Structure 1
C-alpha cells in the first residue's frame, strides 16, 4: 500500500503536464556526453545490505552519516557499511517507510505516512501524527521557529507541533482547495509552501501567509542553495525565484522535459542536477544541458542526488544507492584492450607501451595509436609471457619461443627457440641489464643472454638445477644479477658466473619468487607464493597474511620512488609506507601488523585480480605512473596518487553499546550493569573517499603497551572485564602515520559479591574460618593425643591396678602370716616378758622381794636369763620376716 501510495503521488505531477509524453531523444540543443572511466561507481543494493532497492529520500546527518529512506526501513551509511533501522530491530518505529527528509541542527526529520522520526546517528524521537493524517498523508515538514515543527499534509492542511501537541496553523487559510507539495525554508522566519495552486509565503514572525505567484502556477519542486533559488513547474520548466519573488524562466519546458523533478538540486557551483527520466543524469549550467550516461545504471531512474565536491550520491528506483567518485586507480580506456586478460607490460626506449595478453596477442600504444600482432601476423603465439627490448628490437616471449619485432617498422624480424639454443621454448623472462645484455630465462634450467654484440650465450649450471624454472630477475645496485625461481630460491650472478644459491624459508609450494625488490639499505624483498620475504644481513623474515597481507600470494613489489612500495595480489593492490617496512625489519613480534592502504575495483581497477608469473609483473613508466596488469584490463596508478597528501575527511564515531540484548546509543561514557560479563561496542569510521586506507588498533588497559589489531572495523566484543573503571582506546593509522586516538570511559558495575565490602567480609570470614579450622584441627589432634595418652595411661593403670591387686593380695596373705607370727610370738614373748617385768619390779622393790625366797643376785641372774630368752624369740621372729621377704623375691 505504501508503494502504491507513493507511485500515485509521484504520478500527480505527470498528470498535471501535457499528454505529449517524454521524448526518446534529446532535442537538438542538448549535448550528449558519456562519462569516461575516470570515475568509480559503487552500487549498494539489497545484495549488499540495503533492505530494498527503491530510495525515496537521501540526506547527511550532523555526524556525517548518509541516510537513505527505502520502503523497508531507514538506512545509515558510513562509506563502508550499511545499518538498517526498521520495526523489527527498532520497535519504537511506528512505520518503516519514509519519503521526505528535512535536516535541522538537531538531526534529520523523516516523514512517513502518519508519523515522523528524528534521526541523528541513531533514532532520537518518534512522533505519532495519526491525528492529523486522517484519510491523508504527510507531504511537507519544516521548523516553526519556536522549537517545534510545521507539518503539511496532502489535503492542504498545516499543523504546528509544539510540546507534543498538534494545533492547526492559525494564519494558514488558502482561499481555494489545494494540495501541499513541499516546504522550502528561506530563513528562520520565512517558509515557502509549494502547492498545486501556487507558491505561498509563510511569515512566522508576522504570523501571516500570502500567495506570491499566480494560482495557476504548480510548484512541483522548490530547490536551491544559499545563492540561487529555483522552482520546477511541469508546464513551464525551471524558473529562478528572485528576492522579490519574481519568476524568471531559465530552462524551458522543452529543455527540462526529461527531468525527474523529485531529484532536482543545485550544487555549490550553482549548476542544476537532475536524474533523467530515461537514463543517467542531467546537468544544467549556464544555459547548457548535458546528459551523463552511466552504463552501470542502465535504465534505472535516479530519484535523489547529493553532490559533494567531485562525489555524487545517487538514490535510484530499483538499483539502490550508487556512489560515484573519481577513480584513484585509472584505466587505459582503449576498447581494443577492454576486458582483455593482460599479461606483461613493457615500455620501450621510444616511450611506446607494449602490452601482452593471455590469448589475444601483443599490442603497442604509441602517440595515441594502437597496433596489434597475433598469430596470423606472424607472432609465434597469442599468449605473451614476457617482453623486453635491445638495439631497436622487441623480444616477445611465449610458451613456444620468442618472436622478434623491429621496433621502428613493426615487422617480424625473426624468432628464437630451442632450435637457436634455448633450453626450453617456455620463456618466462626477457630482461636487459646495464651492460646491454639481454637475459632470457626459461624452463629446464635455462639461463641465456645476448651480449652487447648480439652473441648468444648459455650459462652453464650445476646438474641439480637442470630442471629449474626461472621466473624473475633484478639487477642489484652492485651490478650483480638476482634470479628468482620456482622451488630453488634465488640465484646470484656476477657477470655470468653463479656465486650463490639461497633457498627461501618456505614450503616447496610457497617457494615461488614472482618479483624481487632491493631497498635503499640494500636489503632484499621477495614477492612469493607464501607472502613477502625479507633477506637482511643473511637472515630471513616472512611477512604473511596474518601480518596484514590481503593475500597469501604476492605477484609484484615495485617502489614508487618516493616513500613506499606497491604490491599486487589476487584481491587488488596494497601500498606499504617505507616507515612500515622499517618497523617490520626491526620487530621481533611474530604477530606484527603492518599498516597499509588497499585498492581494488572500488577504487578504479578494472578487476581486483592482478596477474603474476609474468615479467614485468608491473611497470613504472617514464612519467612515474605504475601500470598493473589484471585479468580484465590495465590499471594505472597516476603519479598524482603516488605523491598526493592523504585526505583528512574522516570522522570516528562511537555508535552502539549492546549488552543483555539491548542497544543503547554511546555518548560520553558507558556503564555496564552488575552481573553482565559480555558486551559489544560498535563504532564507525565515516569516510566516503577511501574507507580502506586505515589501520585500526585498540587496547583496554592504558598501562599496556600492546595494541591489538581490529579485524572487523566496526565491532569490539568484551567478556569478563573486571568491575571498575576502564578506558577503551582506538588508535587510527593511515599509511603508517598516527591520525588520532579515541578514548571511551567504561564503568563496569560490580555485583554485591564483587564489591570491596563483600571481599573484605569474605576475607574476614575466611580468616575466621581458617582460624576455626586450625583450632578445630589442633583440638582434634590434641584430643586424639590425649585419648592416646589416656588409653596408654589407662592401660598402664590397668596393669598397675592388677599388680596392686596382686600385691594387696600378697600383702594381705603376708599380713595374715605376720599376724599369725605376731599372735604366736606375742604369746611366746608375753610369758618371758611378764616374767622379766615381774623380776624388775621385785628388784625395784628390794624390800619385799626377800619374801620370794630368792636373793638379789639370783633375781638378776633370772632376769638376764629371761631377757636372753626374749632376745632369742625376737631373733627368731626377725628370721621369719626375712624368710617372707626372700619368698617375695
Structure 2
C-alpha cells in the first residue's frame, strides 16, 4: 500500500487458528474519527475468518549442532537415545554419539558408513542398520548380525527396525521381513525369514515397520497396510478407508491412546482409532502436507504429533494443528529428516544437510520474537487484561496476545502509544489501562475505550502501581506522582518527598504489603507511607549498601543492591521503625548485574540479570538461560511477570519467554555421572576395578554427565585417593594423570551443575598399578654394581660445579635485563598518562585514535567521543580547585567502570576528555553511550566528606572513518559537543 504503513490484526478461533487483517495508516486515521463500535464490528469480521489460517508457533531456541560440535556429517538420517542417556545420530556418512559435551564418531564394527536406521531395544542397547548391514552396539564395538547362511542384512533408509518381544527383533532387509533371535550362550543374534512356517501368505514389499502389542506388527505394504497378529496377516485397503491412489506408507506411529497413525510419501496422514476397523483422514485442512520422499512422524510427551512437511513441522492433532517453520526459526527450505523426544522431554530435530537442532526447554518454554508478531524484540513489561488478553510493552509500542491465541500482534488500540519504549503497564480498579514510557509519556485507555490518550508528560517513568484504594502511583527518576482518582480525574499530582532529606530524587519502584503499607525506594533509601504518614525506614543493612531493587510479598520486603553478593529479606510490618533484614547468598548469580525482582505466589524469588534469570524456592537456586530454553540471556528492567495461571513471563533484549510450568524447575531428573572411557598409555581399560602392570604412560578418564540442560554450567570435582588429599575442580570432562607411581588407588568423581543445582552421586574407580621390573631384588643388585662404576666419574664433579655456576650467572644477567626493561616500560607509561586522573594524556589518546584510523581500513567501525563537564569553571570558582580535581578524578573513575577492555579514555585538556570506542558505529553505539552518560552523570559527585554536588556532562560523538586524521575526527566531535552545549548541555549530540 504506497505512501503508508501497514499493521496486522490477528485473532484465533476455538481451534487456536490465527486469522489476519491488514490495515494501512490511512485506515487508522479513518477509524480514528469513528466510534469504537465500528472498530469492534471489524474485529468480529476478522474473527469470522478464523478458520482460514493455522496458528503461529513460538520461536525455536537456536541450539545448533554441526561439524564444530563434532558432528562430522550434516546429513542426519536417524536419532535415538540409549539406556544410559547417550544421544546417537545416524548420518549419511557415519554414526555419532553425543555425550553432552560434543559428538564423537563411533566406528568400531559398523558395516559401511550410510546409517539407514537406529533403534533402542528394551534393554536400552542400540541397533544400527546401514546400507551394508546390521549390528548392535555392545560396549565399545558394534557386533554385526548375519543370517544363518552368514549373509549381511543391508537396510534402506526408513522405519525398518522394531522390538518384537523379549530377546527378539524384527528388521526389513531387501524388502523382506526378518526375525532376529538372541543366542545368549554365544552372546550373538541369528536372523531368519519371519514368515518361515507362519500361517498366511507373506506381505509384498514392506516400506515401514511398527511393533504394536505383544506379538503384533503393523507394516506398510505398498498401497496397503498390513497387520500381523495371532500368526496371521490382515490387509487394509480402500474398503477400510485408505485412498484409491497407489501410495507408499513409509512411516507409522502408535500414540499414547493406542491410535495408529500412518503417513505416506504422497502427503496423506491417516489414523486408525484404537479398536477401530476403518482409517480416518487426519490431514490438516488449512496446512498442506506436501509429498516427501522420507517423511518423519513422532509424538512428544504432551501427546502432540509432530509431522514433517516441506517447510518445517506440523504439530498438534485433529482440530488443533499448528505450523512450525521459518517464522519460528527454521529455514524456509529445511527438510526434517529425523525427530527425537529425549528423556527430559526436549525435542531434537535432524535437518537434511544442515545438522541437528536441539529445541531446549521444548515442553517448559515458549519464546516469542519479532517473527511471532512482536513489534520489537526488546520487551519491557507485561500485563494480563480483564478480557484475558496479554499486553506487552516493547521497544516499539504495545503488543497483544488474545486469550487462547498462539501469537502476538501490534495492539489494535494503541495508535496513540506510538513506537516508544513502554516500560510500565498497569490497570486501575475501573478497568482503565495505563502505560508509561521511558520518555515520560503517561497514557491511558479508558475502560471499554478504543484508543489510548496521553495524560501527562513526566520525567522518565520507572514504575506504575495501583494500590488497594485505587490510587495510581507513578515512580519517576525526577520524583513521585499520584493520581488519586484515575477514573474521573487523570491529572497526576507531584508528591513532596522531603522525608529525612530524600528530596525529589529518583523513585525507583513501589510496592504494597498485606497491612496496606506502601513502600517506595527513593534515592536508594526505603520510604513507607502508612495511615497518611511518611517515614524513612532505616534498613539496617551491613556497610554502606546502596539499594537498587525492592519488591514486596505479603508481609516481607525483598531488597537488593548492585554489586553485592546477597539479597535481603526483611519483615515489613505496618508499624515497623527499622528493618531487620536476613541476608541470602545469590548462588550462581553472584557478581551479575541485576535488572529486576519478582516474588510469585509460591513465595519464590526471581532475579533478572544480563546472563539469565535466577530462581530461589527457599532452599535452592536455579539459573535459567539460553541453555535452559530462555530466548535471550540479557533480561530487561523489571520485565518479570507472573501470569494468572502461575506461569512466568520474562522480557529480554531479544524477545519474550514464557515459562509454562515453573514448579518443574525443581523436579529435574537426578544428574548421573558416567565413566565414558578409561585408558592407560593409550590402551582402553574397563570402566571398573582393574589391575595392570605399571607403565610410564598417562591414565586418562573421559567423563559424561548426560543432562543436556545448562551443560556449560557443569563442574567436575575429583581426587585420586592414594595420591591426593584435596579435591580438584575442572570444567573439562577429561582427567589425566601422567606417570603414576606403583600402588593402589581410587579415583573419586562427582559432577555438579551450578545452574540447576543438581549433584551426582559419588563415582569411584579403584585400580592397582603393579610394581615395574626395576623394583625387583636383582635390579637392586645391578644398581650396586653400577654405583661402583659411578665412583670413576667423580673427577667430573668439579667441572659440573663450574658449569652450574656459569649457568646461574647467566640466569642472573637475564633477570637483571628483564628488570631494566620493566623499569623503562613504567617510565614510558608515566609519560603517556595524565598525572591527576591517570587517564591517557592528550598525546597518547591522539595516537590511539590515529592507530584506530589505520585499523579502520579493514572496515572496522569506531566512535570518537569528546566529553565535557558542564559549567566546570563554576566548581573551581565555588568550591576551589581541589574540589574540581576531585570531580575530574571521580568522572574518570565512573567512566572507566562502564568501559570495555578495548575502549580508551584520555584527558584532552582541562575538563575535556576523549573517548575511543572501537567496534561501534552511530547505530550500535547509541544505547551504549546513553547508558554511559546516565551512569557517569546521574549521581552527584562527592568533593569532600559529607558533601557532594550535581555535575552534568555533554558528549559530542563522531563516527571514525579510514583516511581521516585524528585532528579531523576530534574537530568533528568538538562541533557535535558545541551543538550539545548550545542545546542546553547534559546531552549527547552526533556529527
TM-score (norm 2): 0.53
Q: Could you tell me whether the CA contact under 8 Å between 2:718 and 2:729 is conserved in 1?
A: no
- If you compute each CA radius of gyration, which structure gives the higher value, 1 or 2? 1
Tell me the residue number matched to 2:482. 449
CA 1:270–1:407 in 2, change beyond 3 Å: closer, same or farther?
same
Q: Deviation of residue 567 (structure 1)?
A: 2.9
Q: Distance in 1 between matches of 2:66 and 2:525?
A: 48
Q: Distance in 2 between matches of 1:216 and 1:736?
A: 51
Tell me the residue number matched to 2:536. 499
User: Helix, strand or coil: the match of 2:594?
Assistant: coil
**Aligned residue among 624, 647, 655 for 2:676:** 655
Q: Distance in 1 between matches of 2:451 and 2:158?
A: 74
Tell me the residue number matched to 1:726. 746
Tell me the residue number matched to 1:808. none
**Aligned residue among 308, 320, 324 for 2:355:** 320
Tell me the residue number matched to 2:394. 357
1:700 aligns with 2:719: yes
**Aligned residue among 552, 571, 576 for 2:592:** 552
1:329 aligns with 2:368: no
Tell me the residue number matched to 1:589. none
CA 1:693–1:553 in 2, change beyond 3 Å: closer, same or farther?
same
Q: Distance in 2 between matches of 1:507 and 1:575?
A: 26
CA 1:553–1:659 in 2, change beyond 3 Å: closer, same or farther?
farther
| TM-superposition CA deviations, 1:354-400 (whole Å, max 9, x none) | 32111134658579799966898333763212123435343321104
User: Helix, strand or coil: the match of 1:99?
Assistant: strand
Q: Could you tell me whether the CA contact under 8 Å between 1:532 and 1:554 is conserved in 2?
A: no
CA 1:697–1:185 in 2, change beyond 3 Å: closer, same or farther?
closer
Matches for 1:389-408 after TM superposition, within 5 Å: 389-392=427-430, 393-398=432-437, 399-408=439-448
User: Helix, strand or coil: the match of 1:343?
Assistant: strand
Q: Could you tell me whether the CA contact under 8 Å between 1:669 and 1:744 is conserved in 2?
A: no
**Aligned residue among 218, 227, 235 for 1:248:** 235
| TM-superposition CA deviations, 1:244-289 (whole Å, max 9, x none) | 332312677748977672x54545644455677588x957343233
| TM-superposition CA deviations, 1:500-533 (whole Å, max 9, x none) | 577999999xx782x4245789563426466653
Matches for 1:224-243 after TM superposition, within 5 Å: 224-227=211-214, 228-234=216-222, 236-243=223-230
Q: Could you tell me whether the CA contact under 8 Å between 1:40 and 1:327 is conserved in 2?
A: no
CA 1:633–1:96 in 2, change beyond 3 Å: closer, same or farther?
same
Q: Could you tell me whether the CA contact under 8 Å between 1:345 and 1:627 is conserved in 2?
A: yes
CA 1:150–1:184 in 2, change beyond 3 Å: closer, same or farther?
farther
**Aligned residue among 619, 622, 625 for 1:596:** 622
**Aligned residue among 630, 642, 645 for 2:652:** 630
| TM-superposition CA deviations, 1:135-179 (whole Å, max 9, x none) | xxxxxx4686xxx98633589xxxxxxxxxxxxxxxxxxxxxxx9
| TM-superposition CA deviations, 1:532-588 (whole Å, max 9, x none) | 5336776896856xx5229823322323332632333334433233113xxxxxxxx
**Aligned residue among 524, 529, 537 for 1:489:** 524
Q: Could you tell me whether the CA contact under 8 Å between 2:236 and 2:242 is conserved in 1?
A: no
Q: Could you tell me whether the CA contact under 8 Å between 1:531 and 1:553 is conserved in 2?
A: no
Q: Deviation of residue 446 (structure 1)?
A: 1.5
CA 1:256–1:696 in 2, change beyond 3 Å: closer, same or farther?
farther
Tell me the residue number matched to 1:460. 497
Tell me the residue number matched to 2:153. 152
Q: Could you tell me whether the CA contact under 8 Å between 2:510 and 2:518 is conserved in 1?
A: yes
Tell me the residue number matched to 1:608. 632
CA 1:66–1:478 in 2, change beyond 3 Å: closer, same or farther?
same
Q: Distance in 2 between matches of 1:750 and 1:530?
A: 53
Larger RCO (CA within 8 A; separation ≥ 6):
1
**Aligned residue among 91, 94, 99 for 2:116:** 99
Q: Distance in 2 between matches of 1:119 and 1:441?
A: 64
**Aligned residue among 128, 137, 141 for 1:119:** 137
1:474 aligns with 2:511: yes
Q: Distance in 1 between matches of 2:484 and 2:425?
A: 17
User: Helix, strand or coil: the match of 2:397?
Assistant: coil
| TM-superposition CA deviations, 1:333-371 (whole Å, max 9, x none) | 995437643221134677664321111346585797999
Matches for 1:127-526 after TM superposition, within 5 Å: 141=145, 151-152=152-153, 186=164, 209=196, 217-227=204-214, 228-234=216-222, 236-249=223-236, 254=243, 261=250, 263-266=251-254, 269-272=257-260, 284-286=271-273, 287-288=279-280, 289-290=282-283, 292=307, 293=314, 294-295=324-325, 296=330, 298-305=332-339, 313-322=348-357, 326-330=362-366, 336-337=373-374, 340-347=377-384, 353-361=390-398, 363=400, 365=402, 377-379=415-417, 382-392=420-430, 393-398=432-437, 399-412=439-452, 414-417=454-457, 422=458, 424=459, 426-434=460-468, 436-443=470-477, 445-451=478-484, 456-461=493-498, 468-476=505-513, 481-484=518-521, 489-495=524-530, 497=534, 499=536, 513=548, 515-517=549-551, 522=556, 524-526=558-560
Q: Deviation of residue 34 (structure 1)?
A: 6.4
User: Helix, strand or coil: the match of 2:85?
Assistant: coil
| TM-superposition CA deviations, 1:50-84 (whole Å, max 9, x none) | 22121234444342323222234321135x44431
| TM-superposition CA deviations, 1:70-127 (whole Å, max 9, x none) | 234321135x44431256xx7x87855443446566943435566766424x523566
CA 1:489–1:757 in 2, change beyond 3 Å: closer, same or farther?
farther
CA 1:245–1:683 in 2, change beyond 3 Å: closer, same or farther?
same
Q: Distance in 2 between matches of 1:206 and 1:389?
A: 72
CA 1:112–1:197 in 2, change beyond 3 Å: closer, same or farther?
closer
Q: Deviation of residue 724 (structure 1)?
A: 3.8
CA 1:102–1:256 in 2, change beyond 3 Å: closer, same or farther?
farther
**Aligned residue among 58, 81, 96 for 1:75:** 96
Q: Could you tell me whether the CA contact under 8 Å between 1:277 and 1:301 is conserved in 2?
A: no
49-58 or 746-755, which moves further after superposition?
A: 746-755
User: Helix, strand or coil: the match of 1:578?
Assistant: coil
Q: Could you tell me whether the CA contact under 8 Å between 1:259 and 1:282 is conserved in 2?
A: no
Q: Distance in 1 between matches of 2:605 and 2:726?
A: 27
Q: CA RMSD in A?
A: 5.5
Q: Deviation of residue 318 (structure 1)?
A: 2.2
Q: Could you tell me whether the CA contact under 8 Å between 2:396 and 2:418 is conserved in 1?
A: no
**Aligned residue among 73, 80, 84 for 2:104:** 84
Q: Deviation of residue 232 (structure 1)?
A: 1.9
User: Helix, strand or coil: the match of 1:223?
Assistant: strand
Q: Deviation of residue 184 (structure 1)?
A: 6.7
User: Helix, strand or coil: the match of 2:422?
Assistant: coil
CA 1:681–1:258 in 2, change beyond 3 Å: closer, same or farther?
farther
Tell me the residue number matched to 1:642. 663
Q: Unpaired runs of 5+ in structure 1?
A: 1-30, 128-140, 156-178, 581-594, 762-889
Q: Could you tell me whether the CA contact under 8 Å between 2:547 and 2:560 is conserved in 1?
A: no
Q: Distance in 2 between matches of 1:367 and 1:202?
A: 49
TM-score (norm 1): 0.59
